[in-house]
Structure 1
């Protein structure tokens, strides 16, 4: 019971007791005066009007007042006890189409909104609307996902953008407008490599969690180069390849810093070998890790001999050696299979044109949140040969920019919208269902754009519902795929309609009757969803009835010819590097660390030697001699 109702009940009880008390006093006084019953009934109310402030404390009068209160209580119990939960007109469902006034609280200045239809938009101020800017967009081929959603929002020019661009048509159409608005244009082109900026994921590793970033990059690469058909044995090989790849990436990063690239990893793998006949044979990379492990062991025994930066490097190399040691546990035949299997996965990185893209970093993905930028990821729509690179790029982008937001006030200086067109063709991002749930507070939002609902389900399986649940907006542009139309129909809900039934009996004693009853009906049935006119769309916002509206108008377009930035060697300063985070020192490789390195004794039991050199920060070179035939157990 609410506070107001409780106060009303107390007041009503007091009035009832007062009326019963005074009536009892009047009747009792008249009876004592010898009046007959008829006269008493004609004046029982006199004391109520003539002397309202008079209250009798006589026991009979007090009990009479309480009797009235008890009667009122019984009436209240009967009334509320007999009440039923009814919702007239909503018995079978309360779904209905939204009205213009219901979207108005969520609209800001339309010029600074995220646009959905000609009449519905959403303010970019998510703190005001209490709605995130994540969007699930579903539309079949030709329904206008790019033309009637992505491009009109790019024309708004009110945030930075990261856009998946199948075939490069969006950049070609909108690049001129964006450049005129002062936007920096960047492009990772996986169709025409010669017209692409370069991208090095290792350049975006966070120094504070570099080991984690190594593991994330490995997980992403393995996930997106694994076929859908898996067997029990394939799980073993995946884990073994993951350990080896993590070791190679970690070694590259902790010895070269941000100058290291995936090409260094591929080249190291190319130098590896294993023998089925000689279990103790060592490749060049085996020897390199063996020598590195000796340095790590010396550091463990004498940590005070190394400064903080050198300790950071050697801690990372210890992690690399531990991962490599996992690979070393296998027999010669097993190690050979691991090398071959990982080599097959990384075969695309041997392409000359692709090596150009991965050899440095000019795309500057960590600057998108600090200046108006439109970054286009051009992907082929006819194959998925490079989907792993698209997934790695997005994973790198999200991790790095959320890190920058956390270390610069908790939010990026400029909001970033990611329009992930052809979402099913950019590969699977590990933990994307977690990222989409937390990126809002950092000023990052994502539009997941698909041709049909089942694509996302097939890619993310059980995590797909989590991704959908973190999109407060849903835009349906048209389609007739069964799972999609059923999903949209269920999301729209059921309405209550009145069904009229008539019956007629003919003959000498004919009769006719008509009756009405409530009936539940989908606001749109699946077949009605599939028949949605081409100029219409459906927009659903959390907490608001759905809207059936007209699609946005396509913006004027131009023809933009993108010229990538000049390739900058990893050792040189990147072009237009205008922003440096206040709370972060750039991470350097070992050449910037350590004034001197303590000597370590050479390996023993030499049978056939190979020279291994390591260059230390002060410029001097250590040549370590490692036995090719030394038992691998000695290096555990």
Structure 2
């Protein structure tokens, strides 16, 4: 908009009108009587002519001034030729139902005062905040407590082993069934330990009495690929990676059919790491498995796979050794002497139970061994989604993907396409979008971004990320004035034109306070919200215990309260 007021200079309107009035008064005063001399009549006529001329001139200038002011007013009205970017208004937010806690997760405060919640019709969200940005305290903890009150089952990845100790005791006191998968055995007084089988999806399929059994071989292959993911665009060692995955899948099915309690990553590793024992098992599959399990198409498949591997071991020993080396390297985390050695043999629960009734599951890994425990969380996520596919109309499940780049989803893009129909919702919390690209590839990362109906960006410190947010905010039309000075100092020329400007430039995005976020919701203008931690929301502030890593729980003046209905058994 204008920064210097524009004053019109169409001419001396007031002067002409004043002269016209004065001349008319003189003419009226000099208007001659019938017997007056001719000189008086001439003077009166001259005054009348002067009044008429000045009046006409003044009226012309007045009309010209009106038109100029009208055109200036029109010129100052901003059009939409260069963009219409703006923030969402409160009325638009309310119209979307985002002022109601029942709609979804708490996102932040509009203009620092009114709480805004995610819309109910958006199943997936993506939050991007670098380390130290406050993901856990400002988004994740609130999401867990809020989603638990909706009656859904929750599958919570806890790769820093802090969410379980902070929330599990209170959730149990509130009447929720809480499982803590705690292989490291830490904080047992707060969390306890529930053991799950990492290969449960294969066992469920193998012993299913319906068409779900047809998925057993595919699931074994999926788990093998989860252990050894395919690198997009890298065809150099495709043959050897495929061979390693074949060895893993055969071992999983072998244990699943012959010794279900030992169908675990540790036992698969032990078998593949002992070539003599492996060859003996392959020969037994080839000669005797059909006798033990007659008339089974899965056994027929295993026999051909065993024959294939035996042939390769005999004809190309070097390639076969490469298969085993690749397979054992990715399974090394589950070695006999490691922290995950033997895990799953004494499993006492089935992750599929989350589909039967509301259960809150924490999949915990110690911060000091996040990388070592990541494959286990990846396997649990696969088992959960497989269980939901087996029971498509079961209890609704919500996935809380805290630090989602520390583990994998087997086929994330394909799963996102089906999860909504299965009644699964998910929140993914990551530190950077380039990290998502490195983890899953550019195309998959773009698909995840497009599926996320709610996107939160806060505390960014990367210019590329800030530029992405700036591009998402788009351009707004602004008016710019240019000034030109002439020889007379008081004579200033002003020209006005329209330009497009980003609603916020990348440097402005980087300079945002860490407690603010840009939130993009499908079908709504962007929102700049104030983030608040759980200690500023009632009753969350009373439900969270001390953080075992960072110390005492956060406290602050409560900004608002969410009223939850009392739980019924």
TM-score by length of 2: 0.70
CA contact (8 A) 2:221 2:246 kept: no
Match of 2:116 among 95, 108, 120: 120
**How far did residue 230 of structure 1 move?**
6.8
SS, match of residue 83 in structure 2: coil
User: Compared with structure 1, are the counterparts of its residues 254 and 106 closer, same or farther at alpha carbon in structure 2 (3 Å cutoff)?
Assistant: farther
Aligned residue in 2 for 1:470: 451
* Counterpart Cα distance in 2 of 1:560 and 1:400: 34
For each residue in 1:523-572, what CA deviation from the matched residue of structure 2 results, as whole angstroms up to 9, or x when unmatched? 1111111121233222111111011122144131443899xxxxxxxxxx
Q: Residue 359 in 1 paired to residue 352 in 2? A: no
CA contact (8 A) 2:157 2:402 kept: yes
Q: CA RMSD in A?
A: 3.1
* Counterpart Cα distance in 2 of 1:311 and 1:143: 54
For each residue in 1:275-311, what CA deviation from the matched residue of structure 2 results, as whole angstroms up to 9, or x when unmatched? xxxxxxxx34324322422357889xxxxxx87xx42
User: Compared with structure 1, are the counterparts of its residues 240 and 330 closer, same or farther at alpha carbon in structure 2 (3 Å cutoff)?
Assistant: farther
* Counterpart Cα distance in 2 of 1:514 and 1:322: 88
Aligned residue in 2 for 1:400: 387
Match of 2:173 among 164, 174, 180: 180
Aligned residue in 2 for 1:624: none
CA contact (8 A) 1:496 1:521 kept: yes
CA contact (8 A) 2:352 2:384 kept: yes
* Counterpart Cα distance in 1 of 2:90 and 2:277: 71
For each residue in 1:408-436, what CA deviation from the matched residue of structure 2 results, as whole angstroms up to 9, or x when unmatched? xxx332x222111111111x333211111
Match of 1:520 among 493, 497, 500: 500
Q: Residue 100 in 1 paired to residue 90 in 2? A: yes
SS, match of residue 186 in structure 1: strand
Match of 2:509 among 529, 535, 541: 529
* Counterpart Cα distance in 2 of 1:339 and 1:460: 25
SS, match of residue 379 in structure 2: helix
CA contact (8 A) 1:188 1:363 kept: no
* Counterpart Cα distance in 2 of 1:372 and 1:220: 27
Name structure 2 gaps, 5 residues minimum. 1-76, 110-114, 207-212, 535-539, 549-569
Aligned residue in 2 for 1:627: none
* Counterpart Cα distance in 2 of 1:191 and 1:198: 11
Q: Residue 162 in 1 paired to residue 155 in 2? A: yes
* Counterpart Cα distance in 2 of 1:120 and 1:403: 35
SS, match of residue 95 in structure 1: coil
* Counterpart Cα distance in 2 of 1:519 and 1:191: 60
Q: How many residues align?
A: 441
* Counterpart Cα distance in 2 of 1:335 and 1:256: 25
CA contact (8 A) 1:456 1:464 kept: yes
Aligned residue in 2 for 1:432: 412
Q: Residue 138 in 1 paired to residue 123 in 2? A: no
Name structure 1 gaps, 5 residues minimum. 1-86, 127-131, 273-282, 300-305, 406-410, 563-636
CA contact (8 A) 1:211 1:319 kept: no
Aligned residue in 1 for 2:25: none
* Counterpart Cα distance in 2 of 1:194 and 1:250: 35
CA contact (8 A) 2:217 2:298 kept: no
Aligned residue in 1 for 2:361: 375
Aligned residue in 2 for 1:77: none
CA contact (8 A) 2:378 2:410 kept: no
* Counterpart Cα distance in 1 of 2:222 and 2:260: 17
Q: Residue 202 in 1 paired to residue 172 in 2? A: no
